[in-house]
């Protein structure tokens, strides 16, 4: 096994992903979709031990967007309420501003809409250098089309704005090809912030389910100098997160990833964070504070809790 050069040393970053780009209030009564709701929810999660917030934005009608103005509103409210590291999605979702229907009827995630996400003033942004079909409502598929030239455009835009990428990988090939090439081009410096995403195989083409061997394989493929978080979607979540801790990784929870603590029982984000913190502490580790998370991730110290980047 080739271990990454950086990992947790007694402190674990707990990330909360409160909203995501899919679930609506009709499907989950606790999902926050509007800026005030998201900020209040993140503040509760920060009090429970979360130090990073992975945020998606929604329009007033609840549909997906990467609008810079909406992200700036969310980010400012979150920063006024707590001191978490703010991460904004540049994947967004598969409806609302993100959905474009081509003349032939095929459906794609709009590139310009994705690019808008880098102007929200986040500390970090997700960088999904992947091309895959995503299953939408009613079985309609939507293409996330990210050839290398677009991945370079997205990475360059983050670099220009001083935003550290969060490299998302859905299978080992994303690590050994896209992430390896883009970091070699100088769009990031160590520590590389990598999110290993498992359990989305039911929705994303080329994604892997969580199994111990799949997570081990992805951990083995991490570039040197990586700090990695593990995201496990679905009912295998806490089994996978326990495995992540054993490998030296950090962990993510939230309604975006697994909206229930028990099958069929929607849970609030703060309850998911509390369970994650309990898991961390049960193996003799402690959740990182936001200041410690910034140090682990190589981010600047936040001097003024009320500032907006």
Q: Write down how long the chain is.
A: 309
Q: Please state the pTM of the whole predicted model.
A: 0.94
Q: Which two tokens stand for residue 170?
A: 């859905």
* Cα–Cα separations (whole angstroms), residue 41 to 81, 115, 220: 10, 26, 35
CA dist 123 and 25 (Å) reads 28
CA distance 74 to 208: 31
Q: Is the peptide bond before 140 cis (omega within 30 degrees of 0)?
A: no
For the stretch 220-267, pLDDT in tens is: 999 999 999 999 999 899 999 999 999 999 999 999 999 998 888 899
Residues with Cβ within 8 Å of residue 119, at least 6 apart in sequence: 68, 71, 161
Question: Computed from CA positions of residues 202, 56, 60, 99, in that sequence, does the dihedral angle turn out positive or negative?
Answer: negative
Which residues in the chain land under pLDDT 50? 1-6, 304-309
pLDDT in tens, 87-106: 999 999 999 999 999 999 99
**Residues whose CB falls within 8 Å of the CB of residue 252, separated by 6 or more in sequence, listed in order:** 14, 15, 16, 17, 54, 195, 229, 230, 231
Tell me the CATH architecture of domain 11-297. Answer: Alpha-Beta Barrel (3.20)
| 3-class secondary-structure state, position 299 | coil
């Amino acid at each position: 096994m080739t271990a990454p050069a950086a990992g947790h040393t007694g402190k674990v970053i707990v990330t909360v992903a409160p909203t995501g780009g899919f679930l609506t209030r009709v499907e989950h009564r606790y999902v926050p979709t509007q800026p005030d709701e998201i900020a209040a929810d993140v503040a509760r999660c920060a009090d429970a031990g979360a130090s990073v917030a992975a945020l998606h934005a929604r329009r007033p009608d609840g549909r997906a967007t990467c609008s810079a103005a909406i992200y700036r509103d969310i980010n400012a409210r979150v920063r006024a309420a707590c001191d978490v590291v703010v991460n904004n999605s540049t994947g967004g979702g598969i409806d609302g501003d993100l959905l474009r229907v081509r003349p032939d009827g095929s459906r794609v995630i709009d590139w310009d809409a994705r690019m808008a996400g880098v102007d929200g003033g986040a500390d970090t942004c997700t960088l999904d250098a992947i091309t895959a079909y995503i299953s939408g409502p009613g079985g309609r598929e939507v293409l996330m089309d990210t050839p290398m030239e677009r991945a370079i455009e997205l990475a360059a835009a983050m670099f220009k704005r001083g935003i550290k990428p969060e490299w998302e990988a859905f299978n080992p090939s994303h690590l050994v090809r896209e992430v390896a090439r883009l970091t070699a081009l100088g769009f990031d410096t160590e520590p590389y912030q990598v999110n290993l995403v498992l359990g989305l195989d039911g929705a994303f083409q080329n994604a892997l389910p969580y199994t111990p061997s799949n997570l081990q394989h992805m951990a083995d493929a991490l570039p040197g100098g990586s700090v990695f978080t593990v995201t496990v979607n679905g009912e295998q979540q806490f089994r996978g997160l326990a495995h992540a801790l054993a490998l030296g990784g950090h962990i993510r929870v939230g309604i975006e990833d697994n909206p229930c603590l028990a099958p069929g029982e929607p849970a609030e984000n703060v309850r998911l964070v509390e369970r994650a913190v309990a898991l961390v502490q049960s193996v003799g580790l402690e959740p990182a504070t936001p200041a410690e998370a910034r140090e682990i991730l190589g981010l600047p110290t936040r001097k003024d809790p009320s500032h907006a980047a």
